[in-house]
Structure 1
Amino acid sequence: MASGRPAVVTGANKSLDFATSRDLCRNFPGDMVLTVRDQTRGRGRAARQHLKAEGLSLHFHLLAIDNLKSIRTLRDFLWEEFGGLDVLVNNAGITFKSDDPTPLHIQAEVTLKTNFFGTRDICTELLPLVNPKVSRVVNVSSVMGFVTLKQCSPELQQKFTSEAITEEELGMLMDKFVEDVKNGVHKKEGWPDMKLVTYGISKMGITILSRIHARKLSEQRRDDKILLNACSDAIKSPEDGAETPVYLALLPSDAEGPHGEFVMEKQVEQ
C-alpha cells in the first residue's frame, strides 16, 4: 500500500498508543512518523530505541494536539518531507481517573480541548494532505462514547444522531457541554450524570466527528479510496486494544469499507 508517504500516529509514548505504533511499524510497508508530546517520558525512549534497532524506518516529531501551532508544525513537516501521508491514526488523548479531585469544570475544559477539539484540529490540518488513492484515517474513540450518548436526554440524542449534523453544530454542542458544566447546569440541560462523563462526551464527539468527515469525503469523492473510521480503544490489554486500529489502518487498497463506521474488535457496531 505504500506510495512513499508515511503512516502517522499521534501519541506514541504509552500503553495502547505505543502498542498501535509498534504493530504499525512492523506491518506498514513504508515510513512511520510517531508523534509524542515529550520524547523523554513514558515507555517512549527505550521502546523507540528498540524499534529502531529492528531496522524499522521511523521518524519522531513533537506534537501537542491541544496546540494549533504544534499541529501546523507537524503538517508543514509532513508536506515538506513526504508530500503528504497515507495513514493517519489519531491516538493521542487524555482522561482523568474517576477519583481525580480536579473540579469537574476543569476536567471538562481540558478533556474536550484535547480529545475532541485537538482531534478535530488535526483532521482539519492533515486531511488535506492524505493521499486520495489509498489513505486510511482512524480516530481512536471508545465504547464509552456509546454509553454516554444513551445517557443523554432524548433532545440531545436526537441532535447528535441526526444524519444532517454538521461539524460546526457538533463543535457548538461540545462547547455547550463545557459551559453547562462551568455553570453547574449540565444535568438540567440533559447531559449525563455519570463517572468519567467528560471522557465519554469527548469520545462520543470523536465518533460523531468521524461520521461527519466520512460523509464529507463520500460527497466529494469520485475515484478516491480514502476510508475513515472511528474505533474503540483498549478494553483488554494494550496489545488487544491495538488490533482494531491497526486493522483499519492497514485495510487493503482495494477495500471499499468500512467507511464512516464505529468499529470494535474488527466488527462494525450499529
Structure 2
Amino acid sequence: MTRKIAVVTGGNKGIGFAIVRGLCEKFDGDVYLTSRDVGRGESAVELLKCAGHSLLYHQLDITDQKSVDSFKNHLISKYGGIDLLVNNAAIAFKNDSTEPFGLQARETINDAKVEQFKNKNLSIEKLSELMRKFVKDSEEGNNVKEGWGESAYSVSKVGVSALSFVQQRLLNAENPNRNISVNAVHPGYVKTDMTSHKGVFTIEEGARAPLFLSLKSTYKGQFVWKDKKAIEWDGQLPEPY
C-alpha cells in the first residue's frame, strides 16, 4: 500500500462524524467517511472540507453485502488493503418505539452481526448461533423468559464486543507477527440522535476513546472505557455511563 487508509462507518453524524474529524486532523493518510445514505454522507464531507479538512467519501451499508463488496473492491484496487477501521455504524430503536421487540432485535442484530458469550474458546460460529437464538426467542416473545432482557441494542453491543475478542484471538493464532489489533470501546452516554440527545457527553468527548485506540493505543483484544482505560467488559463498570 502506498498510503495508509482509515475508514469510519456511519460517519455522517454523531460520534462517527467527530471521529472522522479527529482522524482528519491527526491520521497520516487517507480518511474515508462512509454512510448508508449518500446525500447525508456527502453533505457531511462537504461540511468538513469547508472547515479545511481533506477526506474521501464512499457509500457503505454494512447490512448490504453488495454495498460491502463494492467498497471492499474499491479499497483493494486503490490501496491493496486497509490500515484502520472504526466500526461505528449502529441502529437503535427509541424507548417509545412501536415496533415489536422481535423486529427491534432483528434490525439491531443485523447491524452488529453476532451475540455474546463468556467462553474464552468461543467461536464465531457459536457466537452466530447464540445470536440467532436471541432473535428467535425475541420474535416469539420469550426474550425475558430466556434471560436476554428487554434491550435488543444492549444485547447487540455485548455481542459485537464478544466478536472483537474472538477476532483478536483468531488473528493472533493465525499470524501474531501481523500486529493487528481489534478492540471494543464504550464512548459514554453521548448526546446524539440515537440517545435523543439525552446524553451527558458531547460527540467530541465521545470520540476521545475511539481516537485514542485509533491513533495511540497498544491495546489488543480489550474492552476500553470512555476514559481510555481497559476494563473487564463483563465485570463491574467503573462508573455510570
Normalising to structure 1: TM-score of the pair? 0.77
> 1:56 offset after TM fit, Å?
3.5
Instruction: For 1:1-270, list aligned pairs within 5 A.
Output: 4-41=3-40, 44-114=41-111, 116-117=112-113, 160-192=117-149, 194=150, 197-235=151-189, 236-251=201-216, 257-264=218-225, 265-270=227-232
Mark the CA change 1:189 to 1:48 in structure 2 (over 3 Å): closer, same or farther: same
CA distance in 2, matches of 1:94, 1:108: 10
Give 2:214's aligned amino acid: A
Q: CA RMSD in A?
A: 1.9
CA distance in 2, matches of 1:202, 1:46: 29
Summarize deviations over 1:47-89 as a string: whole Å, max 9, x none.
4223223554311010111111111111000001111111010
Mark the CA change 1:54 to 1:81 in structure 2 (over 3 Å): closer, same or farther: farther
Higher relative contact order (CA 8 A, sep 6+): 1
Q: Does the 8 Å contact 2:42/2:57 carry over to 1?
A: no
Amino-acid identity (%): 38
| SS of structure 2 residue aligned to 1:223 | helix
Partner of 2:196: none
Give 1:249's aligned amino acid: S
Mark the CA change 1:3 to 1:231 in structure 2 (over 3 Å): closer, same or farther: farther
Number of residue pairs matched? 220
Give 2:132's aligned amino acid: D
CA distance in 2, matches of 1:229, 1:109: 24
Q: Does the 8 Å contact 2:6/2:82 carry over to 1?
A: yes
Give 1:36's aligned amino acid: S
Runs of 4+ in 1 over 6 A off after TM superposition: none
Query: Which 5+ residue runs of structure 1 have no aligned equivalent?
Result: 121-144, 150-159
Mark the CA change 1:222 to 1:233 in structure 2 (over 3 Å): closer, same or farther: closer
Give 1:20's aligned amino acid: I
CA distance in 2, matches of 1:222, 1:180: 38
Query: Which 5+ residue runs of structure 2 have no aligned equivalent?
Result: 190-200, 233-241
CA distance in 2, matches of 1:245, 1:3: 25
Q: Does the 8 Å contact 1:30/1:57 carry over to 2?
A: no
Q: Please identify, of 173-182 and 223-232, the stretch whose mean Cα deviation from structure 2 is larger.
A: 223-232
Tell me which protein shows more helix as a share of its residues: 1
